[in-house]
Amino acid sequence: MAMAVGGDSDSPMSDINTTPLVDVMLVLLIIFLIAVPVVIQTVEVKLPDVRFDPTTTKPENVSLSIRAVNGECEVYWGVTRVNADELLERAVVKLKAEIDRQGGVNNPDLELPEVHIRGDVATPYRCIGGAIYTMQRAGFARVGFISQPAPGGATTRL
């Protein structure tokens, strides 16, 4: 603390007490030294270096197109419009037929078909999520999305 000693008591003091300012700055410095390592900690993850991976279409794969018209979800199996019950029924029949064609579930080389979903950009998630849930409920383990690559975008691995 600073203290004025001697001199004329009627004249105003022109010195500024900087001790509280230094105290506050030291406290802030200590807080930042403690808080910064907590914020910087992350889990190291190696992300794939792929811009666009072309889809290999197999005849056994299921292609679904989903869009919303006037707030109603429309799901198309190929080009045929289906409701939720028909989607589940078709999916179960398709999966069972494919497993039987490949020799049953005991076949070690069994390759289950995939579901490829083409969802319109303006389609709400509930429509696409409902189709994903239905296909997974039918037994399809691999569900993917078909997207449009950017014009002039790379189609090879980096």
Across the chain, what does the average pLDDT equal?
81
Judged against a pLDDT cut of 80, whether residue 52 lies above it is answered with no
Confidence (pLDDT) at 147: 73
* % of the chain with per-residue pLDDT over 90: 34
Judged against a pLDDT cut of 90, whether residue 79 lies above it is answered with no
Confidence (pLDDT) at 94: 93
Judged against a pLDDT cut of 70, whether residue 55 lies above it is answered with no
More confident residue, 15 or 101: 101
* % of the chain with per-residue pLDDT over 70: 76
Judged against a pLDDT cut of 80, whether residue 31 lies above it is answered with yes
Residue pair 127/49 in contact by the 8 Å Cβ criterion: no
Angle (CA) 14-18-24 rounded to 5° is 150
Q: How confident is the model at residue 132 (pLDDT cuts 50, 70, 90)?
A: very high
Confidence (pLDDT) at 158: 46
- For residue 144, give the nearest of 111, 115, 112, 113 by alpha carbon: 115
Task: Return d(Cα 144, Cα 158) in angstroms, integer.
Answer: 21
Judged against a pLDDT cut of 80, whether residue 157 lies above it is answered with no
Instruction: Report the 10 Å Cβ neighbour count for 127.
Output: 19
pLDDT, tens only, 116-127: 998 888 889 899
Confidence (pLDDT) at 25: 94
Q: What CATH class has 62-145? A: alpha beta
Number of Cα atoms under 13 Å in the Cβ half of residue 10:
0
Q: Residue 15: CB partners within 8 Å, gap ≥ 6? A: 2, 4
